[in-house]
Chain A
Amino acid sequence: MTASLDGEIRDGRHQMRVRVYFEDTDSGQIVYHANFLRFMERGRTNYLRLLGKSQQELLREALKDAPGFAFVVRSMKIDFLKPAILDDLLDVVTVPQEVRGASISLLQECRRGDDLLVTAHVRVAFISGGKAQRIPKSLRLAMEGHT
């Protein structure tokens, strides 16, 4: 039921669609720049969710190693190339770049059809028990399969 809501993973890339609503814009015109970060977060979250579905065993292992884990954003380099406007249907693409000991780098894009609107390089760290931890091997393997 929620399949289309979460997007899909194809060829190691996660892709999902986001519709621009009034609340995302500056008075019905262009999307406020900070909102792209929220769209991209949805991409990362759903990428992880779908990884979990297709790699259920691996994720269960990760949870065992690191209960109550979460990812936190450590740094981002974002380029705002073109604006998005009210009613636009955007594609949010998420591609893992590098999985190192304690952090993951992702490339993310917001596209409208053929137009590339925003690109971001995002580094996330893995937190468990309130502290930075090494990425659990099982999770790393699941993502490395896509890099």
Chain B
Amino acid sequence: MALQRPNEIKLLEFCCDIVKPAFSGIVYHANYLRFMERGRTNHLRLMGAEQQALFAEAQAETPGFAFVVRSMQIDYFKPSRMDDVLEVVTWPVAVKGASITLAQEVRRGEDVLVRAQVRVAFISEGRAKPIPKTLRTLMKADLLS
């Protein structure tokens, strides 16, 4: 998987047949949250790979950091089915002191199937903390102005 520049939108492709749809053949609504989590995780992973020094700084400041989902707004427009190949697109829309809001879309070709806004908070050593400046700067670089 080729690394992308940090200011490009992160794309991730899935083949939908790894999911087990219900008898109707369509993907269960809660499963999209798992796909979108992979999008967010890989977004962070690629950012870390590209900006190792800055990430190392963030790790030093706040060891064992993780993001937890605080709230989501999710709209289900169209269903997807077994064998669909989906794209999960993730981009930051707000970067605050203690939380980041990401927009995510699950697409099948031209169709947007699901759209979500996800607010994540920053946890380090099991507690909510302000996001280290280094990480905030990284995320802000991806904000579409």
Contacts and interface: CB of A to CB of B under 8 A. Distances in A.
Interface in A78-111: 78-80
Contacts of A33: 33, 37, 68-69
Interface of A is mostly: strand
A80 B30 contact: no
Contacts of A3: none
Interface string A9-49: 00000000000000000000000011101100100000000
Contact of A78 (B31, B71, B75, B79): B71
A73 B68 contact: no
A44 to B, nearest CB: 11
Given A34-B33, A34-B34, A73 B71 contact: no
A41 B73 contact: no
B33 A79 contact: no
Interface of A: 33-35, 37-38, 41, 70, 72-80
B5 interface: no
A77 B73 contact: yes
B74 interface: yes
A85 to B, nearest CB: 12
B71 A37 contact: no
B69 to A, nearest CB: 5
Contacts of B85: none
B70 interface: yes
Contacts of A77: 71-74
